Amino acid sequence: MTTTEIEALFALPFADLIFRAQQVHRAHFDANAIQRSTLLSVKTGGCSEDCGYCSQSARHGEVERESLLDVAEVVAAARAAKDKGATRFCMGAAWKGPKDKDLDTVTEMVSAVKGLGLETCVTLGMLKAGQAERLRDAGLDYYNHNLDTAPEFYGQVISTHSQADRFATLDRVRTAGIKVCCGGIVGMGETRKSRVSLIAELARMEPPPDSVPINNLVPMPGTPLENAPPLDPFEFVRTIAAARISMPAAFVRLSAGRQEMSDELQALCFLAGANSIFHGDKLLTAGNPEAARDEALFERLGLTAI
């Protein structure tokens, strides 16, 4: 879809937008089934980049630097996640990009988690030549690397690398035959025009991402965006709906910010076409709804797990 077409979606009356998103969603998915993923930080803090939303940046100094977890710890967490209903296990590391010696350990993690019968995903920052192929050979299903925000707003959030650098990693991932998980963050002070531009950038990918995480900023103490004003909840739902209509075959995931959402807001997001969540107690350094709360919400809404 073009930027003009996506802008027109955002401008629709709310009920009309939700109705259209439901039509698209039902044409491609079971409208009452939600995919559940769990995200584990396998290496926390000390990142060299200056992403304005992230407390793991060494420049912001709020999160203590931790070493890469042992493979056994990761496997135990993955087994627990599977027992709680997760079907995909995502491993995140706070790096600009992995060193080859660290990738040795990460590929062990991927192989071990894959052996549990879970889909595997990692987010490791920017990849060098040959690294995507190593992850693929270890059994990686998805690589997460978000665009974060619109091209024209990117420099106001991050200065240590460009969005073009992110596209270079996404190209390496696609070339290796790994599925792409790519979305963004809203609520960072961007305009609606920037949200439209972000969705358009994602939808223009050839092909569009297999999974599209939509993060609602959780302002973290010590970061440049700690005082960012909250995004209007209906505007967040509009963003979900626009992503669903623009990328009809993708899983659209409620990601960061779900801890702060009421059950009613989450239900609106599901109506708007979200069909994936991060499931568990923690999302990297931000809280996430507990599994028991998710189970209760699923029961109230008549939702089933994919």
- Reported as a pLDDT band with limits 50, 70 and 90, residue 306 is confident
Give percent of the chain with pLDDT exceeding 90. Answer: 75
Catalytic residue among 134, 181, 195, 238: 181
256 pLDDT more than 50: yes
- 214, containing H or E segment: strand 211-216
What is the DSSP code (8-state) at residue 148?
B
**CA 38/CA 164 separation, integer angstroms:** 28
Catalytic residue among 47, 88, 182, 258: 47
As a whole number, the mean pLDDT across the chain is 92
- Average pLDDT value for residue range 207-213: 96
65 is catalytic: no
pLDDT at 62: 59
182 is catalytic: no
Catalytic residue among 20, 36, 88, 121: 121
pLDDT per residue as tens digits for the range 131-165: 999 999 999 999 999 999 999 999 999 988 889 99
What CA dihedral angle connects 235, 17, 205 and 251, to 10 degrees? Answer: 90
- Reported as a pLDDT band with limits 50, 70 and 90, residue 24 is very high
Which residues partner with 47 through β-bridges?
57
Catalytic residue among 20, 36, 88, 90: 90
- 196, containing H or E segment: helix 192-204
Give the residue from 98, 102, 48 showing the smallest Cα distance to 71.
102
pLDDT per residue as tens digits for the range 85-134: 899 999 999 888 899 999 999 999 999 999 999 999 999 999 999 999 99
268 pLDDT more than 90: yes
Q: Which domains does the chain have, with CATH numbers?
A: 3-305 (3.20.20.70)
285 pLDDT more than 50: no
Tokens of 170: 């996404």
Give the residue from 53, 49, 10 showing the smallest Cα distance to 188.
53
47 is catalytic: yes
Longest dimension (CA), the chain: 53
**CA 285/CA 206 separation, integer angstroms:** 32
Catalytic residue among 20, 51, 195, 258: 51
- Average pLDDT value for residue range 223-234: 93
pLDDT per residue as tens digits for the range 175-191: 999 999 999 999 999 99
pLDDT at 221: 87
- Reported as a pLDDT band with limits 50, 70 and 90, residue 52 is confident
Catalytic residue among 172, 195, 253, 258: 253
pLDDT at 64: 66
254 pLDDT more than 50: yes
Give the residue from 138, 133, 91 showing the smallest Cα distance to 112.
138
Catalytic residue among 54, 166, 238, 258: 54
